[in-house]
Structure 1
Amino acid sequence: MGLYEFFYKYFVLPIKENQGYNPVNTVTYAIILGIAVILLYKMLKRMGIRVDDRFFKALIPYIILGPLMRGMTDVGILPRTYLTVSPGGYFVIAAFAIASLYVVWKHIGPGEKLYPLYRDFGWILVGGLLFVLVINLDRVSFNWKALGYFVPFLIIAEAFIWLIAKKAPLIADNKTLFYTHFYDATTTFVGIQFFGFWEQHVLARWLMDTLGTPAVMYLEKFFILLPVVWILDREMKDEDPDLINFVKLTVFILGFGPGTRNLLIMLMGGG
């Protein structure tokens, strides 16, 4: 198999035919993500931008932008191309977020004015997508009954984290991450169990096939997150707090983005 055939089989074809992820592209994208996190962290340090609550709040519209674009693609409002589905769509959103941050920083520097201006520019982008959604509402078949499944299971899942956090300080210190990823797990469980969705990720697919239920997503999320936060909070406690916060921000996005995308697809009648 030549290089082109290899690339086409493991990277192009899965996107073109909506096959989901495979072991090869999963590992490759994970490596790219790791490198991107390090490079972006170094970029923020050079720009004098702290990864704190101000930065997180300013980043919220860009975090919403990704799943909104993907949801609108999956229901046919936006064209399905390599730049509107994962991982290409997330590269596009990341490029918008980084470019916007650089432009704002270049004009006003890393001071207090940067965060609201950067945030507002992001909301303008979200507003543009919402406008496209509104003028295409006739192409959306809203499925509000999805909330009847989603809300009860979400309450149960988040109540579990709340109870565990009362006994486990490590989870209590990172409860936002656990809440977010159990939100993602709930959208996956409900989508597959009740609405005929299918799982795109390799490990999750294997676990579901092995145990015969999408509820295994909760276990997967919990037992992946636990060592991650242990390493960040215990083994790396002497590292730069901005690095720890940026990695946690990345973990948050990896839960919130797919979860919100799943929820939007269910509500908009996609699949």
Structure 2
Amino acid sequence: MGLYQFFYEYFVVPIKENQGYNPVNTIVYAIILGIAVILLYKMLKRMDIRVEGRFFKALIPYIILGPLMRSMTDVGILPRTYLTVSPGGYFVIATFAIASLYVVWRHVGPGERLYPLYRDFGWILVGGLLFVLVINLDKVNFNWEVLKYFVPAIVIAEAVIWVLTKKVQLIGDNKTLFYTHFYDATTTFVGIQFLGYWEQHVLARWLIDTFGTAAVMYLEKFLILLPVVWILDRGMGDEDPDLINFVKLTIFILGFGPGTRNLLIMLMGG
């Protein structure tokens, strides 16, 4: 098998035929993500931008852009191309976010003015996508029945995390990450268990097939997240706090982005 054929089979065909992820592209995308996290962290350090509350709030609209664009693609408002579905769509959004940050930083520097300007530019991009959505509402077949399953499931799931935050300090210290990933697990559980959707990721798909229920997503999330935050908080205590915060920010995005995408796709009938 030649290099082009290998790339076409494992990276192009899964997107063209909506096959989901396979072991090969999953590993490659994970490596790319790891490299990107390191490079972005070094970039922020050079720009003298701290990974803290102000930066997180300014980043929120860019985090919303990805799932919004993907859901609009799945309902036919945006064309389905490598640049509008995952992971290509997230590369596009990341490029917008990084380029916007650099432009604003070059204009005002790393001071207080950076964060509101960066945030507002992001909201302008979100507003543009929402405008496209509004003028194409005839292509959307809203399915509010989703909430009949989602609301009780999310209440129970997050209640479990709330109880655990009171019992386990490590979970309490990282409650936002656990709440976010159980939100993601809930959207997957509801979509697969009740609405006929399917899982695109290799490990999650295997677990669901093996256990016969999408509820196993909660266990998967918990068993992956717990050792990761333990390593970050206990095993990397001597590392730069900005690095740890940036890794946690990445973990948050990996939960909030797919979860919101799933919920929007179900609500919009994608």
TM-score interval, normalised by the smaller of the two chains: over 0.9
Residue matched to 2:167: 167
Partner of 1:107: 107
Query: 1:149-169 CA distances to partner (integer Å, 9 max, x unpaired)?
Result: 101000000000011111100
Take 2:80 and 2:100, find their aligned partners in 1: how far apart are those partners?
25
Residue equivalent to 2:91: 91
Q: Is the partner of 1:81 in helix, strand or coil? A: coil
Q: Aligned-residue CA RMSD in angstroms?
A: 0.4
- What does residue 8 of structure 2 align with? 8
Give the drift of 1:253: 0.2
Residue by residue over 1:101-127, the C-alpha shift from the partner in whole angstroms, topping out at 9 and shown as x without a partner, is: 000000100000000000000000000
The secondary structure found in structure 2 opposite 1:67 is helix
Residue 22 of structure 1 corresponds to: 22
Q: How does 1:1-271 map to 2 (within 5 A)?
A: 1-270=1-270
Aligned equivalents of 1:194, 1:77: Cα separation in 2: 25
CA deviation map 1:87-144 (0-9, x unaligned): 0000000000000000000010000000000000000000000000000001101111
Aligned length: 270
CA distance in 1, matches of 2:11, 2:81: 13
Residue 194 of structure 1: CA displacement?
1.0
Q: Which runs of 5+ in 2 are unaligned?
A: none
Taking structure 2 as the reference length, the TM-score comes to: 1.00
Shift of 1:225: 0.1
User: Structure 1 length as normaliser, TM-score?
Assistant: 0.99
Pairwise CA distance, 1:224 = 0.3
Following the alignment from structure 2 to structure 1, what is the Cα–Cα distance between the partners of residues 234 and 11?
A: 36
Residue 161 of structure 2 aligns with an amino acid whose one-letter code is I
Report the Cα distance in structure 2 between the residues aligned to 1:267 and 1:237, rounded to whole angstroms. Answer: 42
**Counterparts of 1:251 and 1:40, CA distance in 2:** 14
Shift of 1:210: 0.5
Q: Measure, in 2, the Cα distance between the counterparts of 1:30 and 1:269.
A: 29
Aligned-residue identity in percent: 86
C-alpha offsets along residues 160-218 of structure 1, whole Å, 9 cap, x if unaligned?
Answer: 00111111000000000000000000000000111110000000000011000000000
Q: CA deviation at 1:148?
A: 1.1
Q: Unpaired segments of 5 or more residues in structure 1?
A: none
Letter of the 2:14 counterpart? P
Runs ≥4 residues deviating over 2 A? none
Shift of 1:82: 0.5
User: 1 CA distance for matches of 2:133 and 2:164?
Assistant: 39
Question: In 1, Cα distance between the equivalents of 2:209 and 2:193?
Answer: 13
How much has 1:145 moved relative to structure 2?
1.1
